[in-house]
Every structure is written in C-alpha cells, then in structure tokens.
Amino acid sequence: MRFTGKVALVTGAGQGMGQAIAQRLAMEGAQVVAADIRGEAAQATANSCQGTGHMGVALDVSKSDAVRALFGEIEQRYRGIHILVNNAGIGSAPNDGFPKLLERLGQRGAQMAKGETPTVFPDLIIDMEDEGWHGVMGVNLHGAFYCLRESVRLMVKAGIKGSLINISSTSAMSGEGGLHYVTSKAALHGLTKALARELGPRGIRINNVVPGPTNTPMMQSVGEDWIRSMIAAIPLGRMAEPDDIARVVAFLASDDAAMVTGQDVVANGGSYFK
C-alpha cells in the first residue's frame, strides 16, 4: 500500500494503459482521479478501482481551461495532488493523412512481396493538413504541459513533493510511426528533462515511461500487418499488456524511486535499445 493517503490523477484513464494504471495505483492505496475525454468510460474506471474516494471525470486535456477547472475540483475535494500520470494520447486526428498512409503501406508491402521494386512510398507529410498536425500535438504535447503546469502549481501550493510521470513511446526513439505522433512523444523527453532540473530543488520528481507495442485499443488502429511486423521485432516475443506498463508507473510514482528523476524508463520488451 505504497500510496495510502495520496491522490493521483491519471489522464486517458477510460481504457488501455490509463485504466490499468488507475487500477494499479488504487490497488496500492491511492485515491484516483480517472480522467478521459469520454466521461462515462472515466467513471467506469473509477468505479472499477479498489477502495473508496475515487473520481471519474470527463476531460479534454487539449483545452487548458478544462484542465484548470479540473484542478480546481481536485483542490476543493482532496486539497492537493501527489501523482500525475500524463497518459492521454492519440495516434491520429482528422485530416492528418493517416488512412492514406496505411493504404500506401499495404500497397508497398504487396509490391515487395512480389519481388517488385516499390513505386508506392509511405509518405504522410504530403497529405497532412494543419488540423491533423495540431490535433495530435494538442493532446499528446500541449495536454501534457497543461496537466503538468496545474499539477506543479497545486503541489507547490500544498507543499507536496510529488511525482510526475509522462507516457512517451518507443516511437520517439526509433522514429517508427506517424510523423505527428513521433514528434509529440519525442518532445516529452525534452520536457521531462527540463522540468527535472527545474523542479528538483522543490523535491518534485518527473520521469518518462517509454512503452513499446502494447495491447491497447489504440494499437489496434494501426493495422494488422504493422502489428505483426512490430511483434516480430520484439525479443521477448510479445506485446506488453497494459498492467506491465502500470507496474513501471507505480514504481516511479512511489518512494522506491526517490532518487529517480529526469529519466526515460523503457519498457518495450527489447524492441528498441536506446
């Protein structure tokens, strides 16, 4: 029960890794605020958590006013926050050209399977409009920043030496994935390191969890061929399950990681070595 008496906010908690993280922290004693753009899913996660005092809320992390309002509720109800897990993330957005990319990848793969010289190229930037780029950045990067800012403000106000955790991706290191997704996740690495230096004197820690392919609903959206190729490249022979990542998050959130800050903790089954 490492988190008895502590309050944790988990974004993107309606499914997948976020849900597993919320359940894991609650299992170890935390009072969890489960936030998701789908309010019913967030409440379902809160209801599934062990213990009492949990809260499920609808939240669009890309809206700074909405994030600020949520933290007002957290302060009123819990008086502070000890753990933030920036898990909310999307892999694509309207008008980002991603469906065309998947189509091209299939065509290119078919050409190569026939022994032909490929004439189809896996371009994404050609078809990506501003809306698609900003849509992914708004959730994955800006949303993380908004939640970090409000968490730090409340931690400082309440005198809490908390733990901040960003969920990045092995894509940030390998470059494999959508252009906007990879860029947004790579930016979290710089943000984490800069804030580790900035917040260290206050005793507030921040770290990056870097999952590889993980069995989540978002993973299923990339296409079966891509999934098979990723699994084939994992030395441990399987994708991670959401609770595999949740256990890493719980370690970083706990006092067991008291001297760990500004780090990238990679949990990818060996699919990419930094």
Q: Decide: 87 and 10 in contact? Cβ < 8 Å.
A: yes
The residue from 78, 146, 181, 272 that is catalytic is 181
User: What per-residue confidence (pLDDT) applies to 219?
Assistant: 67
Q: Decide: 60 and 68 in contact? Cβ < 8 Å.
A: no
CATH number for the domain harbouring residue 246: 3.40.50.720
**For 129-133, 201-205, 218-222, which range has the lowest pLDDT when averaged over its residues?**
218-222
Q: Give strand pairing partners of 208.
A: 166, 264
User: What per-residue confidence (pLDDT) applies to 223?
Assistant: 62
Residue 221 CA to residue 101 CA, distance in Å, equals: 13
Average predicted confidence (pLDDT) for the chain: 94
Q: Is the pLDDT confidence value at 78 over 80?
A: yes
User: What per-residue confidence (pLDDT) applies to 273?
Assistant: 77
**For 168-172, 214-218, 233-237, which range has the lowest pLDDT when averaged over its residues?**
214-218
204 in a domain, yes or no? Answer: yes
Within 8 A by CB and 6+ apart from 59, the residues are: 11, 35, 36, 37, 42, 66, 67, 70, 88
Tell me if the pTM is above 0.85: yes
190 in a domain, yes or no? Answer: yes
161 in a domain, yes or no? Answer: yes
158 in a domain, yes or no? Answer: yes
125 in a domain, yes or no? Answer: no
168 in a domain, yes or no? Answer: yes
Strand order in the sheet with 83-86: 55-58, 31-36, 7-11, 83-86, 163-167, 205-211, 264-267
Q: Is the pLDDT confidence value at 274 over 70?
A: no
Percent of the chain with pLDDT over 90: 81
Query: 226 falls in which pLDDT band (50, 70, 90)?
Result: low
Closest C-alpha to 145, from 38, 68, 45: 68
User: The domain containing residue 34 runs over which residues?
Assistant: 7-91+135-267
CB atoms within 10 A of CB 93: 22
| Overall number of domains in the chain | 1
Percent of the chain with pLDDT over 70: 96
**For 13-17, 78-82, 222-226, 249-253, which range has the lowest pLDDT when averaged over its residues?**
222-226
Q: Is 181 a catalytic residue?
A: yes
Residue 235 CA to residue 270 CA, distance in Å, equals: 6
